[in-house]
Structure formats: structure tokens, C-alpha cells
Structure 1
Amino acid sequence: MFKIKIVDLLNEKGIQLNLKAKNKEEVLKELIDILEASGQLSNRDDFERAVLERENNFSTGIGMGVAIPHGKSNGVKEASIIFGRSEKGIDYQSMDEAPAYIFFLIAVPADSNNEHLNVLSQLSRSLMHSEIREGLKNAKTAQDVIGIFEQ
């Protein structure tokens, strides 16, 4: 079985190292804006609804300064990951109640199998390592971010 890797779903157009958002709602909108600009959405409203519904059920702020919002929707053309970083940190109602600085938005088509759960699991495991989180916080370029996941 073919296993999708994190690096396969990241690209430079989908990486924003200086998010302008000041709150959870704004960060979700900004990440979805980046996804839409990269040409990965056929129906933004449908995807945004899926992400917000997930957030309303439980926050995807996993703690340690990280949030991984995600959605499965007919509005997504192909699986992708958007990376965003906030210098100031955002109150994301994370499990540990600390601000989030690092954001990964996972978008998958509605008809895909549960591959996004595999990607979510890979991402969560990677982000448990403080050196990965520090590398992402200190990345100077989009290529630096991609390089962290190429190892």
C-alpha cells in the first residue's frame, strides 16, 4: 500500500512564515485563503464549513504551541497541507491552554480514504519532538520547513 508522506503534501506556495491573524477564527480563514490561492479548492465554503464543524466539536490545538486543523470535503481537489507560523502566538483554545505558534491545515477530498488520519498521525508524532517544533519556529524560508520533513 502506498503511504503518503507529509513532505508529499507540502509545497512552498502553501507555507506562510508570518501569519497576520490575531485569533483562532482569523488564523483558520488565513490558512484557508492560502489553500484557495494555491488552487487546491473547488468550493471554499464547503471546505471551510468542514473545518469549522471539526473545530466546534473539539479544538485541534494539540498543545506545545501547535494546532492541526483539518477537514475532509468535496470542495478539496487533492490532499494538501498548508503550514503557517505566528510570531506572537494565537489563543487557539489548545488542550494545554498555551498559545499556538505553528499551524498545519490538512485538506483532503471527501472521497479519499482515511489517508488524512495517517498524515495527521505522522504529523502529530513528528511534532512531539521539540527539535522539530524548534526547527519550524526558527525556519527562515519555506524550503527550510519542507527540509525538516525530508529527513
Structure 2
Amino acid sequence: MDKIDISKVVSEKLITLDLKADTKETAIEELTELLVKDGAVNNKKAFINDVILRESEGVTGLGQGVAIPHGKSKAVNSTSIAVGLSKHSIKWESLDEKPVNLIILFAVKDEDANTLHLKLLQHIAILLADDEFIKNIKKVTSKKEVIKLLSGK
């Protein structure tokens, strides 16, 4: 399988190291705002609705304070990832029933739904299976470090 080039789907503009949100909905909204500003999403409301709909289908909190909400949506111009780190806990349905402070929001263009999306999810899932990665990403002090970690470097 092709190695995925994370720099094509996430940039420093799509990362916040200080999420202000204190609920799942406001976190999704705050990260969507970054995607809209970046031009990856063309309709904030439609995209958020698609993400919330997907949330209702299954738990996206993986445990260890990490959540990976995703929206497959016609409102997405280019498949992208927005990353939010929070200094406080955000209540989220998760496998370990604990709140989260790292949110990786996938914005997936309809056409990419079966290929790029799966490769991205797989790539991120492999990273998130590594406790060391989770420990490191929660300690980052710069957006560059986030991209470096997500690239698996």
C-alpha cells in the first residue's frame, strides 16, 4: 500500500494546540472553522451535520484521551485532517469512557471516501496504537512537531 503523505492533508493552519471548546459539539465546530478558513470545507453547517451524523453511528473516542471524529461530506473540497489539542478534558463517548484532549477531525471528500480516507484512517490508527506516540503528541509545543509525529518521522 502506498505510504500516505500526511503533509498533503494537514498543515499548520489546520492545527490548534489550545482548543477552547469544552463540549464535543463546540470542539467539532472549532476544528471545522480551521477547515473552512483553509478552504478544505465549503459549507460549515453541512459538514458539521455530517460529522454529528457519523458520531451517532458509533464511538469515535478511542481511549487514552483521543477522539477521531470524521465527516464524509459533499461540503469537503479536499480531504484534510484538523488536529486539536486541549489543555482541559472534553466529555466524549469513548471506549474507555474517559474524556478526551486530543481530537483528530477527518474531513473526507465524497470521491475519496473509499481510498484515501481508509488509508488515512489506517495510518492514523497505527500511530494511535502506539502509547509512545500518544504520549509524545500530547507534549508537543509546536505545530511542526504535530506534523512530524503524524508523518511517522
Superposition pairs of residues 2-151 of structure 1, within 5 angstroms: 2-114=2-114, 115-150=116-151, 151=153
Looking at structure 1, the residues matched to 7 and 128 of structure 2 have their Cα atoms a distance apart, in angstroms, of: 14
Structure 1 pair 147–3 and aligned structure 2 pair: CA distance change class (3 A): closer
Whether the 8 Å contact between 2:69 and 2:106 is mirrored in structure 1 is: yes
Looking at structure 2, the residues matched to 149 and 123 of structure 1 have their Cα atoms a distance apart, in angstroms, of: 7
Looking at structure 1, the residues matched to 110 and 90 of structure 2 have their Cα atoms a distance apart, in angstroms, of: 29
Secondary structure at the residue paired with 2:34? helix
Tell me whether 62-71 or 5-14 shows the greater mean CA deviation. 5-14
Whether the 8 Å contact between 2:31 and 2:82 is mirrored in structure 1 is: yes
Root-mean-square deviation (CA, aligned residues, Å) is 1.5
Looking at structure 1, the residues matched to 5 and 68 of structure 2 have their Cα atoms a distance apart, in angstroms, of: 16
Structure 1 pair 113–33 and aligned structure 2 pair: CA distance change class (3 A): closer
What is the CA-CA distance between 1:40 and the residue it aligns to?
1.0
Secondary structure at the residue paired with 1:111? helix
Looking at structure 1, the residues matched to 72 and 83 of structure 2 have their Cα atoms a distance apart, in angstroms, of: 17
Aligned residue identity for 1:39 = G
Task: Give me the TM-score of the superposition, normalised by structure 2.
Answer: 0.92
Looking at structure 1, the residues matched to 70 and 95 of structure 2 have their Cα atoms a distance apart, in angstroms, of: 16
Secondary structure at the residue paired with 2:119? helix
Equivalences, count: 151
Structure 2: gaps spanning 5 or more residues? none
Task: Give me the TM-score of the superposition, normalised by structure 1.
Answer: 0.93
